[in-house]
Structure 1
Protein backbone atom coordinates (compact mmCIF):
# COMPACT_ATOMS: atom_id res chain seq x y z
CA UNK A 1 0.00 0.00 0.00
CA UNK A 2 1.40 3.37 -1.05
CA UNK A 3 0.48 6.24 1.27
CA UNK A 4 1.18 9.84 0.31
CA UNK A 5 1.36 11.71 3.60
CA UNK A 6 1.01 15.48 3.40
CA UNK A 7 1.82 17.69 6.42
CA UNK A 8 -0.05 20.90 5.64
CA UNK A 9 1.74 24.20 4.94
CA UNK A 10 5.49 24.67 5.59
CA UNK A 11 8.34 27.04 4.80
CA UNK A 12 7.07 30.53 3.98
CA UNK A 13 3.50 29.39 4.71
CA UNK A 14 3.07 28.91 8.49
CA UNK A 15 -0.61 28.03 8.23
CA UNK A 16 -2.82 28.82 11.20
CA UNK A 17 -1.22 30.41 14.26
CA UNK A 18 -2.28 30.87 17.85
CA UNK A 19 -1.29 30.35 21.47
CA UNK A 20 2.40 30.40 20.55
CA UNK A 21 1.97 27.60 18.00
CA UNK A 22 2.25 27.34 14.21
CA UNK A 23 0.25 24.87 12.17
CA UNK A 24 3.19 23.94 9.93
CA UNK A 25 5.21 22.72 12.93
CA UNK A 26 2.42 20.64 14.40
CA UNK A 27 1.41 18.99 11.15
CA UNK A 28 5.00 18.00 10.39
CA UNK A 29 5.53 16.53 13.85
CA UNK A 30 2.32 14.49 13.71
CA UNK A 31 3.08 13.27 10.18
CA UNK A 32 6.63 12.20 11.05
CA UNK A 33 5.31 10.28 14.07
CA UNK A 34 2.64 8.68 11.88
CA UNK A 35 5.21 7.56 9.31
CA UNK A 36 7.36 6.02 12.02
CA UNK A 37 4.43 4.11 13.54
CA UNK A 38 3.34 2.71 10.18
CA UNK A 39 6.82 1.76 8.97
CA UNK A 40 7.81 0.17 12.29
CA UNK A 41 4.63 -1.80 12.88
CA UNK A 42 3.14 -2.85 9.55
CA UNK A 43 4.13 -4.88 6.49
CA UNK A 44 3.82 -3.70 2.90
CA UNK A 45 3.35 0.00 3.62
CA UNK A 46 5.32 2.51 1.57
CA UNK A 47 5.06 6.09 2.84
CA UNK A 48 6.10 9.14 0.86
CA UNK A 49 5.80 12.57 2.46
CA UNK A 50 5.23 15.90 0.73
CA UNK A 51 7.84 17.35 3.09
CA UNK A 52 9.98 16.06 5.93
CA UNK A 53 11.30 19.46 7.01
CA UNK A 54 10.20 23.11 7.10
CA UNK A 55 10.17 23.77 3.35
CA UNK A 56 7.77 25.55 1.03
CA UNK A 57 5.80 23.35 -1.37
CA UNK A 58 2.84 24.36 -3.52
CA UNK A 59 -0.45 22.48 -3.58
CA UNK A 60 0.14 21.58 -7.24
CA UNK A 61 3.54 20.13 -6.39
CA UNK A 62 1.99 17.95 -3.71
CA UNK A 63 -0.83 16.48 -5.76
CA UNK A 64 1.30 16.12 -8.91
CA UNK A 65 3.88 14.19 -6.91
CA UNK A 66 1.25 11.88 -5.39
CA UNK A 67 -0.39 11.29 -8.78
CA UNK A 68 2.89 10.58 -10.57
CA UNK A 69 3.97 8.18 -7.83
CA UNK A 70 0.68 6.31 -8.08
CA UNK A 71 -0.29 6.55 -4.40
CA UNK A 72 -3.17 4.43 -3.12
CA UNK A 73 -4.25 6.99 -0.56
CA UNK A 74 -3.60 10.68 0.06
CA UNK A 75 -3.73 11.86 3.67
CA UNK A 76 -3.33 15.56 4.44
CA UNK A 77 -2.75 16.55 8.08
CA UNK A 78 -3.92 20.00 9.21
CA UNK A 79 -4.74 22.09 12.28
CA UNK A 80 -7.81 24.33 12.28
CA UNK A 81 -8.53 27.90 13.40
CA UNK A 82 -11.59 30.12 13.55
CA UNK A 83 -12.27 32.75 16.19
CA UNK A 84 -10.99 31.19 19.38
CA UNK A 85 -14.35 29.73 20.37
CA UNK A 86 -14.52 26.74 18.00
CA UNK A 87 -12.87 23.49 19.04
CA UNK A 88 -12.62 19.85 18.06
CA UNK A 89 -11.75 17.42 15.27
CA UNK A 90 -13.23 17.10 11.80
CA UNK A 91 -12.16 15.56 8.53
CA UNK A 92 -12.97 16.00 4.86
CA UNK A 93 -13.32 14.13 1.59
CA UNK A 94 -14.00 15.69 -1.82
CA UNK A 95 -17.43 17.30 -2.11
CA UNK A 96 -18.22 15.44 -5.34
CA UNK A 97 -18.09 12.01 -3.69
CA UNK A 98 -21.04 10.05 -2.30
CA UNK A 99 -21.28 8.75 1.23
CA UNK A 100 -21.08 5.23 -0.21
CA UNK A 101 -17.82 5.80 -2.09
CA UNK A 102 -14.65 3.88 -1.23
CA UNK A 103 -13.11 7.16 -0.07
CA UNK A 104 -15.99 7.73 2.36
CA UNK A 105 -15.65 4.19 3.73
CA UNK A 106 -11.92 4.65 4.34
CA UNK A 107 -12.58 8.01 6.00
CA UNK A 108 -15.29 6.53 8.23
CA UNK A 109 -12.82 3.98 9.61
CA UNK A 110 -10.01 6.49 10.12
CA UNK A 111 -12.37 9.02 11.73
CA UNK A 112 -13.54 6.46 14.28
CA UNK A 113 -9.99 5.46 15.24
CA UNK A 114 -8.71 9.04 15.52
CA UNK A 115 -11.60 10.03 17.79
CA UNK A 116 -10.73 7.22 20.20
CA UNK A 117 -7.42 8.86 21.07
CA UNK A 118 -7.44 12.59 20.39
CA UNK A 119 -9.47 13.91 23.39
CA UNK A 120 -11.19 16.41 21.09
CA UNK A 121 -14.85 17.21 20.43
CA UNK A 122 -16.23 15.39 17.41
CA UNK A 123 -17.20 17.98 14.79
CA UNK A 124 -18.12 15.31 12.29
CA UNK A 125 -17.29 13.99 8.84
CA UNK A 126 -17.50 16.64 6.13
CA UNK A 127 -16.92 17.36 2.45
CA UNK A 128 -15.12 20.22 0.70
CA UNK A 129 -13.65 21.31 -2.63
CA UNK A 130 -10.07 21.49 -1.31
CA UNK A 131 -7.31 21.28 -3.92
CA UNK A 132 -5.64 18.20 -2.43
CA UNK A 133 -8.97 16.34 -2.41
CA UNK A 134 -10.05 17.47 -5.87
CA UNK A 135 -6.78 17.15 -7.79
CA UNK A 136 -5.48 13.88 -6.33
CA UNK A 137 -6.39 10.91 -8.53
CA UNK A 138 -6.52 8.46 -5.62
CA UNK A 139 -8.77 8.27 -2.56
CA UNK A 140 -7.95 11.27 -0.41
CA UNK A 141 -8.77 12.65 3.02
CA UNK A 142 -7.85 15.77 4.96
CA UNK A 143 -7.99 15.84 8.78
CA UNK A 144 -8.28 18.98 10.92
CA UNK A 145 -6.86 18.12 14.33
CA UNK A 146 -8.19 20.74 16.70
CA UNK A 147 -8.25 24.55 16.68
CA UNK A 148 -4.93 26.27 17.27
CA UNK A 149 -6.62 29.48 18.46
CA UNK A 150 -8.68 27.64 21.07
CA UNK A 151 -6.90 27.61 24.44
CA UNK A 152 -8.07 24.12 25.43
CA UNK A 153 -7.18 22.51 22.09
CA UNK A 154 -3.85 24.35 22.00
CA UNK A 155 -2.95 23.10 25.48
CA UNK A 156 -3.24 19.56 24.12
CA UNK A 157 -1.25 20.41 20.99
CA UNK A 158 1.69 21.50 23.13
CA UNK A 159 1.98 17.98 24.58
CA UNK A 160 4.13 15.53 22.63
CA UNK A 161 2.10 12.66 24.07
CA UNK A 162 -1.05 14.13 22.50
CA UNK A 163 0.63 14.52 19.11
CA UNK A 164 1.74 10.90 19.36
CA UNK A 165 -1.81 9.81 20.17
CA UNK A 166 -3.14 11.71 17.14
CA UNK A 167 -0.56 9.99 14.95
CA UNK A 168 -1.43 6.62 16.49
CA UNK A 169 -5.13 7.17 15.85
CA UNK A 170 -4.48 7.88 12.18
CA UNK A 171 -2.19 4.84 11.98
CA UNK A 172 -4.79 2.57 13.55
CA UNK A 173 -7.38 3.84 11.07
CA UNK A 174 -5.15 3.36 8.04
CA UNK A 175 -4.19 -0.14 9.20
CA UNK A 176 -7.86 -1.12 9.56
CA UNK A 177 -9.01 0.57 6.37
CA UNK A 178 -6.35 -1.08 4.23
CA UNK A 179 -6.04 -4.37 6.15
CA UNK A 180 -2.35 -3.89 6.86
CA UNK A 181 -0.59 -6.88 8.37
CA UNK A 182 1.33 -6.24 11.57
CA UNK A 183 5.03 -7.03 11.72
CA UNK A 184 6.32 -9.78 14.01
CA UNK A 185 2.92 -11.43 14.34
CA UNK A 186 3.11 -14.27 16.89
CA UNK A 187 2.45 -17.77 15.60
CA UNK A 188 1.21 -20.99 17.19
CA UNK A 189 -0.44 -20.66 20.58
CA UNK A 190 1.11 -17.32 21.52
CA UNK A 191 -1.15 -14.43 22.44
CA UNK A 192 -0.98 -11.31 20.29
CA UNK A 193 -0.99 -7.64 21.26
CA UNK A 194 -1.33 -6.64 17.60
CA UNK A 195 -2.99 -3.27 17.22
CA UNK A 196 -2.86 -2.51 20.94
CA UNK A 197 -1.83 0.89 22.26
CA UNK A 198 0.18 0.67 25.46
CA UNK A 199 -0.57 3.64 27.69
CA UNK A 200 1.66 4.52 30.63
CA UNK A 201 -0.63 5.62 33.49
CA UNK A 202 1.17 7.49 36.26
CA UNK A 203 -1.69 7.66 38.71
CA UNK A 204 -5.49 7.40 38.80
CA UNK A 205 -7.42 9.75 41.07
CA UNK A 206 -11.00 10.46 42.08
CA UNK A 207 -10.20 14.16 42.53
CA UNK A 208 -9.06 16.10 39.47
CA UNK A 209 -6.95 18.40 41.69
CA UNK A 210 -4.85 15.41 42.72
CA UNK A 211 -4.36 14.44 39.08
CA UNK A 212 -3.29 18.00 38.29
CA UNK A 213 -0.70 17.80 41.09
CA UNK A 214 0.68 14.60 39.57
CA UNK A 215 0.92 16.24 36.13
CA UNK A 216 2.88 19.12 37.65
CA UNK A 217 5.15 16.66 39.48
CA UNK A 218 5.83 14.75 36.26
CA UNK A 219 6.51 17.96 34.40
CA UNK A 220 9.08 19.01 37.02
CA UNK A 221 10.82 15.68 36.43
CA UNK A 222 10.88 16.05 32.65
CA UNK A 223 7.85 13.96 31.67
CA UNK A 224 4.99 15.31 29.56
CA UNK A 225 1.57 14.04 30.62
CA UNK A 226 -2.12 14.86 30.48
CA UNK A 227 -5.33 14.02 32.33
CA UNK A 228 -7.84 11.61 30.78
CA UNK A 229 -11.18 11.09 32.49
CA UNK A 230 -12.36 7.46 32.55
CA UNK A 231 -15.57 5.80 33.71
CA UNK A 232 -14.73 2.80 35.91
CA UNK A 233 -17.56 0.88 37.60
CA UNK A 234 -19.83 3.89 37.23
CA UNK A 235 -17.36 6.33 38.79
CA UNK A 236 -15.24 9.01 37.12
CA UNK A 237 -11.51 8.61 37.63
CA UNK A 238 -8.86 11.05 36.44
CA UNK A 239 -5.95 9.14 34.98
CA UNK A 240 -2.61 10.76 34.29
CA UNK A 241 -1.25 9.43 31.00
CA UNK A 242 2.50 9.84 30.49
CA UNK A 243 2.96 8.25 27.10
CA UNK A 244 1.31 5.90 24.62
CA UNK A 245 3.22 3.40 22.50
CA UNK A 246 2.45 0.81 19.83
CA UNK A 247 5.44 -1.25 21.05
CA UNK A 248 5.13 -2.61 24.58
CA UNK A 249 8.91 -2.51 25.07
CA UNK A 250 8.86 1.28 24.61
CA UNK A 251 6.03 1.58 27.13
CA UNK A 252 7.97 -0.54 29.62
CA UNK A 253 11.03 1.66 29.15
CA UNK A 254 8.97 4.79 29.93
CA UNK A 255 7.44 3.00 32.91
CA UNK A 256 10.88 2.29 34.35
CA UNK A 257 11.98 5.90 33.81
CA UNK A 258 8.97 7.21 35.73
CA UNK A 259 9.30 4.68 38.54
CA UNK A 260 12.99 5.56 38.90
CA UNK A 261 11.80 9.05 39.92
CA UNK A 262 9.73 7.59 42.75
CA UNK A 263 6.36 7.72 40.97
CA UNK A 264 4.19 4.61 40.74
CA UNK A 265 2.84 3.82 37.29
CA UNK A 266 1.34 1.00 35.26
CA UNK A 267 0.65 0.07 31.66
CA UNK A 268 -2.91 -0.02 30.34
CA UNK A 269 -4.25 -1.22 27.00
CA UNK A 270 -7.91 -0.32 27.58
Structure 2
Protein backbone atom coordinates (compact mmCIF):
# COMPACT_ATOMS: atom_id res chain seq x y z
CA UNK A 1 0.00 0.00 0.00
CA UNK A 2 1.45 3.33 -1.11
CA UNK A 3 0.25 6.08 1.22
CA UNK A 4 0.67 9.77 0.46
CA UNK A 5 0.57 11.33 3.92
CA UNK A 6 -0.14 15.05 3.94
CA UNK A 7 0.25 17.11 7.12
CA UNK A 8 -1.62 20.27 6.19
CA UNK A 9 -0.17 23.78 5.89
CA UNK A 10 3.46 24.43 6.90
CA UNK A 11 6.11 27.12 6.49
CA UNK A 12 4.58 30.49 5.69
CA UNK A 13 1.08 28.99 6.08
CA UNK A 14 0.53 28.19 9.78
CA UNK A 15 -3.06 27.02 9.33
CA UNK A 16 -5.37 27.54 12.28
CA UNK A 17 -4.04 28.70 15.62
CA UNK A 18 -5.26 29.12 19.16
CA UNK A 19 -4.34 28.50 22.78
CA UNK A 20 -0.66 29.04 22.03
CA UNK A 21 -0.31 26.37 19.33
CA UNK A 22 -0.39 26.22 15.54
CA UNK A 23 -2.08 23.68 13.31
CA UNK A 24 0.99 23.18 11.13
CA UNK A 25 3.01 21.94 14.12
CA UNK A 26 0.35 19.65 15.58
CA UNK A 27 -0.49 17.91 12.30
CA UNK A 28 3.16 17.42 11.34
CA UNK A 29 3.82 15.62 14.61
CA UNK A 30 0.74 13.41 14.16
CA UNK A 31 1.76 12.56 10.59
CA UNK A 32 5.32 11.66 11.58
CA UNK A 33 3.92 9.40 14.30
CA UNK A 34 1.65 7.74 11.73
CA UNK A 35 4.63 7.11 9.45
CA UNK A 36 6.69 5.70 12.34
CA UNK A 37 4.00 3.24 13.42
CA UNK A 38 3.31 2.06 9.88
CA UNK A 39 6.99 1.67 9.04
CA UNK A 40 7.88 -0.15 12.24
CA UNK A 41 4.84 -2.35 12.70
CA UNK A 42 3.40 -3.23 9.27
CA UNK A 43 4.49 -5.05 6.15
CA UNK A 44 4.33 -3.49 2.68
CA UNK A 45 3.44 0.04 3.83
CA UNK A 46 5.27 2.60 1.71
CA UNK A 47 4.83 6.21 2.81
CA UNK A 48 5.63 9.48 1.07
CA UNK A 49 4.98 12.66 3.06
CA UNK A 50 4.14 16.03 1.55
CA UNK A 51 6.47 17.58 4.11
CA UNK A 52 8.61 16.31 6.97
CA UNK A 53 9.55 19.73 8.36
CA UNK A 54 8.08 23.22 8.70
CA UNK A 55 8.20 23.91 4.97
CA UNK A 56 5.87 25.66 2.53
CA UNK A 57 4.17 23.59 -0.18
CA UNK A 58 1.20 24.48 -2.34
CA UNK A 59 -1.91 22.34 -2.58
CA UNK A 60 -1.22 21.81 -6.28
CA UNK A 61 2.30 20.58 -5.53
CA UNK A 62 0.93 18.10 -3.02
CA UNK A 63 -1.71 16.56 -5.26
CA UNK A 64 0.58 16.56 -8.33
CA UNK A 65 3.21 14.71 -6.33
CA UNK A 66 0.74 12.11 -5.04
CA UNK A 67 -0.69 11.56 -8.52
CA UNK A 68 2.73 11.25 -10.17
CA UNK A 69 3.92 8.85 -7.50
CA UNK A 70 0.88 6.62 -8.01
CA UNK A 71 -0.32 6.58 -4.41
CA UNK A 72 -3.03 4.13 -3.40
CA UNK A 73 -4.43 6.50 -0.80
CA UNK A 74 -4.16 10.18 0.08
CA UNK A 75 -4.52 11.05 3.76
CA UNK A 76 -4.51 14.72 4.77
CA UNK A 77 -4.14 15.56 8.48
CA UNK A 78 -5.63 18.79 9.83
CA UNK A 79 -7.00 20.54 12.90
CA UNK A 80 -10.06 22.76 12.84
CA UNK A 81 -11.02 26.22 14.12
CA UNK A 82 -14.23 28.18 14.35
CA UNK A 83 -14.92 30.76 17.04
CA UNK A 84 -13.80 29.01 20.18
CA UNK A 85 -17.12 27.27 20.77
CA UNK A 86 -17.06 24.36 18.28
CA UNK A 87 -15.24 21.18 19.20
CA UNK A 88 -14.70 17.61 18.07
CA UNK A 89 -13.55 15.37 15.24
CA UNK A 90 -14.83 15.09 11.68
CA UNK A 91 -13.50 13.84 8.36
CA UNK A 92 -14.22 14.51 4.69
CA UNK A 93 -14.34 12.84 1.30
CA UNK A 94 -15.14 14.67 -1.94
CA UNK A 95 -18.69 15.94 -2.33
CA UNK A 96 -19.17 14.20 -5.70
CA UNK A 97 -18.80 10.72 -4.26
CA UNK A 98 -21.64 8.39 -3.32
CA UNK A 99 -21.92 6.68 0.04
CA UNK A 100 -21.33 3.38 -1.74
CA UNK A 101 -18.05 4.42 -3.36
CA UNK A 102 -14.74 2.78 -2.44
CA UNK A 103 -13.59 6.08 -0.95
CA UNK A 104 -16.70 6.24 1.24
CA UNK A 105 -16.08 2.69 2.45
CA UNK A 106 -12.54 3.66 3.42
CA UNK A 107 -13.94 6.70 5.23
CA UNK A 108 -16.35 4.48 7.18
CA UNK A 109 -13.46 2.36 8.42
CA UNK A 110 -11.03 5.15 9.29
CA UNK A 111 -13.71 7.26 10.93
CA UNK A 112 -14.73 4.39 13.20
CA UNK A 113 -11.17 3.58 14.25
CA UNK A 114 -10.14 7.20 14.88
CA UNK A 115 -13.31 8.01 16.80
CA UNK A 116 -12.71 5.01 19.09
CA UNK A 117 -9.54 6.49 20.54
CA UNK A 118 -9.46 10.26 20.04
CA UNK A 119 -11.37 11.41 23.16
CA UNK A 120 -13.16 14.03 21.04
CA UNK A 121 -16.81 14.73 20.34
CA UNK A 122 -17.79 12.93 17.12
CA UNK A 123 -19.04 15.45 14.56
CA UNK A 124 -19.54 12.78 11.92
CA UNK A 125 -18.51 11.88 8.38
CA UNK A 126 -18.82 14.69 5.84
CA UNK A 127 -18.20 15.67 2.24
CA UNK A 128 -16.59 18.80 0.78
CA UNK A 129 -15.01 20.18 -2.39
CA UNK A 130 -11.51 20.59 -0.91
CA UNK A 131 -8.64 20.70 -3.40
CA UNK A 132 -6.85 17.65 -2.02
CA UNK A 133 -10.05 15.61 -2.29
CA UNK A 134 -10.96 16.89 -5.76
CA UNK A 135 -7.60 16.86 -7.55
CA UNK A 136 -6.30 13.48 -6.38
CA UNK A 137 -6.66 10.51 -8.71
CA UNK A 138 -6.76 8.02 -5.83
CA UNK A 139 -9.14 7.73 -2.88
CA UNK A 140 -8.56 10.56 -0.43
CA UNK A 141 -9.59 11.49 3.10
CA UNK A 142 -9.09 14.69 5.08
CA UNK A 143 -9.31 14.42 8.88
CA UNK A 144 -9.99 17.38 11.20
CA UNK A 145 -8.61 16.35 14.57
CA UNK A 146 -10.23 18.74 17.00
CA UNK A 147 -10.65 22.51 17.18
CA UNK A 148 -7.44 24.28 18.05
CA UNK A 149 -9.29 27.37 19.29
CA UNK A 150 -11.41 25.34 21.74
CA UNK A 151 -9.80 25.11 25.18
CA UNK A 152 -10.41 21.43 25.91
CA UNK A 153 -9.54 20.22 22.39
CA UNK A 154 -6.35 22.31 22.44
CA UNK A 155 -5.40 20.94 25.86
CA UNK A 156 -5.41 17.46 24.32
CA UNK A 157 -3.45 18.60 21.26
CA UNK A 158 -0.64 19.81 23.49
CA UNK A 159 -0.09 16.26 24.83
CA UNK A 160 2.35 14.04 22.96
CA UNK A 161 0.50 10.99 24.29
CA UNK A 162 -2.73 12.26 22.70
CA UNK A 163 -1.04 12.90 19.36
CA UNK A 164 0.32 9.35 19.56
CA UNK A 165 -3.23 8.12 20.22
CA UNK A 166 -4.52 10.01 17.18
CA UNK A 167 -1.75 8.57 15.03
CA UNK A 168 -2.56 5.05 16.22
CA UNK A 169 -6.23 5.56 15.40
CA UNK A 170 -5.37 6.56 11.84
CA UNK A 171 -3.06 3.54 11.53
CA UNK A 172 -5.70 1.19 12.88
CA UNK A 173 -8.07 2.45 10.20
CA UNK A 174 -5.50 2.11 7.43
CA UNK A 175 -4.60 -1.39 8.56
CA UNK A 176 -8.24 -2.46 8.39
CA UNK A 177 -9.02 -0.67 5.14
CA UNK A 178 -6.00 -2.03 3.27
CA UNK A 179 -5.65 -5.35 5.08
CA UNK A 180 -2.13 -4.52 6.27
CA UNK A 181 -0.27 -7.34 7.96
CA UNK A 182 1.72 -6.79 11.12
CA UNK A 183 5.43 -7.54 11.05
CA UNK A 184 6.45 -10.64 12.91
CA UNK A 185 8.60 -9.73 15.89
CA UNK A 186 9.81 -13.27 16.47
CA UNK A 187 10.43 -13.06 20.21
CA UNK A 188 7.23 -11.05 20.79
CA UNK A 189 9.15 -8.91 23.26
CA UNK A 190 7.18 -6.20 25.06
CA UNK A 191 9.07 -3.12 26.23
CA UNK A 192 7.61 -1.49 29.34
CA UNK A 193 8.54 1.97 30.57
CA UNK A 194 8.92 2.01 34.35
CA UNK A 195 8.71 5.44 35.95
CA UNK A 196 9.33 4.40 39.54
CA UNK A 197 8.84 1.56 42.03
CA UNK A 198 7.56 2.29 45.53
CA UNK A 199 6.79 0.42 48.73
CA UNK A 200 4.02 2.96 49.36
CA UNK A 201 0.90 2.89 47.17
CA UNK A 202 0.35 6.58 47.95
CA UNK A 203 3.79 7.48 46.58
CA UNK A 204 3.16 5.44 43.46
CA UNK A 205 -0.19 7.16 42.94
CA UNK A 206 1.49 10.54 43.36
CA UNK A 207 4.02 9.69 40.64
CA UNK A 208 1.24 8.41 38.35
CA UNK A 209 -0.81 11.59 38.86
CA UNK A 210 2.24 13.75 38.16
CA UNK A 211 2.88 11.99 34.86
CA UNK A 212 -0.76 12.31 33.85
CA UNK A 213 -0.56 16.09 34.39
CA UNK A 214 2.35 16.05 31.92
CA UNK A 215 0.22 14.30 29.31
CA UNK A 216 1.87 10.91 29.85
CA UNK A 217 -0.72 8.24 30.59
CA UNK A 218 0.42 5.84 33.29
CA UNK A 219 -0.92 3.40 35.86
CA UNK A 220 0.20 1.63 39.03
CA UNK A 221 0.94 -2.08 38.80
CA UNK A 222 1.45 -4.25 41.90
CA UNK A 223 4.41 -6.64 41.60
CA UNK A 224 6.25 -9.03 43.88
CA UNK A 225 10.04 -8.63 44.03
CA UNK A 226 12.02 -11.04 46.20
CA UNK A 227 8.85 -11.85 48.08
CA UNK A 228 8.05 -8.20 48.82
CA UNK A 229 5.15 -6.19 47.43
CA UNK A 230 6.06 -3.15 45.34
CA UNK A 231 3.94 -0.63 43.46
CA UNK A 232 5.40 0.04 40.06
CA UNK A 233 4.41 2.99 37.88
CA UNK A 234 4.19 1.96 34.22
CA UNK A 235 4.10 4.67 31.55
CA UNK A 236 3.51 2.59 28.44
CA UNK A 237 4.22 -0.77 26.84
CA UNK A 238 5.37 -1.23 23.25
CA UNK A 239 6.20 -4.09 20.90
CA UNK A 240 8.65 -1.81 19.10
CA UNK A 241 11.83 -0.72 20.90
CA UNK A 242 12.04 2.59 19.04
CA UNK A 243 8.57 3.60 20.22
CA UNK A 244 9.53 2.58 23.76
CA UNK A 245 12.66 4.73 23.60
CA UNK A 246 10.57 7.71 22.48
CA UNK A 247 8.26 7.30 25.47
CA UNK A 248 11.21 6.85 27.84
CA UNK A 249 12.64 10.17 26.68
CA UNK A 250 9.26 11.84 27.23
CA UNK A 251 9.17 10.51 30.80
CA UNK A 252 12.73 11.63 31.48
CA UNK A 253 12.04 15.07 30.01
CA UNK A 254 9.10 15.34 32.40
CA UNK A 255 11.57 15.09 35.26
CA UNK A 256 11.76 11.37 36.02
CA UNK A 257 15.48 10.93 35.44
CA UNK A 258 15.64 7.37 36.77
CA UNK A 259 12.95 5.95 34.47
CA UNK A 260 13.98 2.82 32.58
CA UNK A 261 12.79 0.12 30.17
CA UNK A 262 12.22 -3.52 31.02
CA UNK A 263 11.59 -6.19 28.39
CA UNK A 264 9.32 -9.16 28.88
TM-score range normalised by the length of the shorter chain:
0.7 to 0.9
Aligned ranges 1:172-191 → 2 under 5 Å: 172-184=172-184
Q: Quick check: 1:225–1:241 contact (8 Å CA) kept in 2?
A: no
Range with greater deviation from structure 2 (104-113 or 140-149): 104-113
1:133 aligns with 2:133: yes
Q: Structure 2 stretches of 5 or more lacking a match?
A: 196-204, 220-232, 260-264
Q: For residue 225 of structure 1, report the CA deviation from its aligned partner.
A: 2.2
Corresponding residue of 2:34: 34
Unaligned regions of 5+ residues in structure 1, if any?
Answer: 203-211, 229-239, 264-270
Matched residue, 1:247: 240
Return the alpha-carbon distance in structure 1 between the equivalents of residues 218 and 60 of structure 2.
41
TM-superposition CA deviations, 1:115-149 (whole Å, max 9, x none): 12111111100000000000000000000000000
What do residues 174-231 of structure 1 show as CA deviations (whole Å, max 9, x unaligned)?
Answer: 0110001111166xxx9x89xx9x99798xxxxxxxxx965652278xx632599xxx
What is the alpha-carbon root mean square deviation over aligned residues? 3.5
CA shift for structure 1 position 262 = 9.3
TM-score, normalized by length of structure 1?
0.76
Do the aligned partners of 2:29 and 2:163 also contact (CA within 8 Å) in 1? yes
1:71 aligns with 2:71: yes
Distance 1:42 1:262, change over 3 A: closer
Contact 1:5 1:74 in 2 (8 A): yes
Taking the TM superposition and a 5 Å limit, the aligned residue runs for 1:177-216 are 177-184=177-184
Question: Deviation at 1:7?
Answer: 0.3
**Displacement after TM superposition at 1:107 (Å):** 1.0
> Per-residue CA shift, 1:137-167, capped at 9, x if unaligned?
0000000000000000000000000001100
Q: Is the 8 A contact 1:84 1:151 kept in 2?
A: yes
Q: Is the 8 A contact 1:10 1:56 kept in 2?
A: yes
4+ residue runs over 6 A deviation: 198-202, 260-263
Cα distance, 1:91 vs. partner?
0.3
Aligned length: 239
**In structure 1, what is the Cα distance between the partners aligned to 2:208 and 2:103?**
40
Matches within 5 A, 1:2-13: 2-13=2-13
Q: Secondary structure at the match of 1:27?
A: helix
Instruction: Give TM-score, length-normalised by structure 2.
Output: 0.78
Q: Specify the alignment match of 1:225 in structure 2.
A: 216
Structure 2 distance, partners of 1:88, 1:61, is 29
Q: For residues 144 and 57 of structure 2, what CA distance do their matches in structure 1 show?
A: 19
